Amino acid sequence: MKKIQHEQLKQILEAAVFVHETPLSMETIKHTLLADYSVSSQAVNKAMNELSLDYAPRGINLVKVASGWRFQSEDSLGPILSNLWQEPPPRYSRALLETLSLIAYRQPITRGEIEDIRGVAVSSNIIKTLTEREWVSVVGHKEVPGRPALYATTQQFLDYFSLESLADLPDSELFEQTGTVQ
């Protein structure tokens, strides 16, 4: 196994994240990029954290999401950068966002449980939209009569909302007290 200098490691990682279409996972880094080098996961994390700090004051940030590392624009630049796209971003209904919130905070959860909490039926289109976006998926079936599907969020949900894990969700205290999205 070859050795690699820390600065060269940072260059390789920076370039790899830049050209990779999806977030770059530690597994991909270790088994493809650095397969011929003797580099620990700690060294990779240290280099990534340093790169992240290097990019912090810029318009581009290096962030860690559930499936790995990726570059994304600084959040505060969103309104300005949105002018580059002809299509407006999709707008989601309150019902869809409430359903997604319930799934995120109370997963795994059945459609019936969501309906009980919200007090109204969940439209098939809502579940269809959430599964087509790959934000939620069926993770099993509840062991009750009818064996209803259990829904949970996916890695794509975490990536889309720039979360590393469900622990990064905003505090659910108010949500838990009221049972609704405020």
Residue 16 sits in a domain of what CATH number? 1.10.10.10
- pLDDT at position 172, please? 73
Q: Are residues 38 and 68 in the same domain?
A: yes
Task: Kindly report the backbone phi and psi dihedral angles of residue 163, in degrees, each rounded to the nearest multiple of 5, phi listed first.
Answer: -110, 140
Write out the DSSP string of 134-165: TSEEEEEE-SSTT-PEEEEE-HHHHHHTT-SS
Among candidate residues 181, 133, 141, the one with its CA nearest the CA of residue 158: 133
- pLDDT at position 84, please? 86
- pLDDT at position 90, please? 79
Low-confidence ranges of the chain (pLDDT < 70): 174-182
Is 81 within the bounds of a domain? no
Is 82 within the bounds of a domain? no
Domain hosting 152: range is: 94-175
- Total count of domains within the chain: 2
* Rounded Cα gap, residues 3 and 148, in angstroms: 53
Could you report the per-residue pLDDT of 112-133, keeping only the tens digit for each? 999 999 999 999 999 999 999 9
Residue that the structure tokens 């909302």 belong to: 161
Q: Are residues 171 and 109 in the same domain?
A: yes
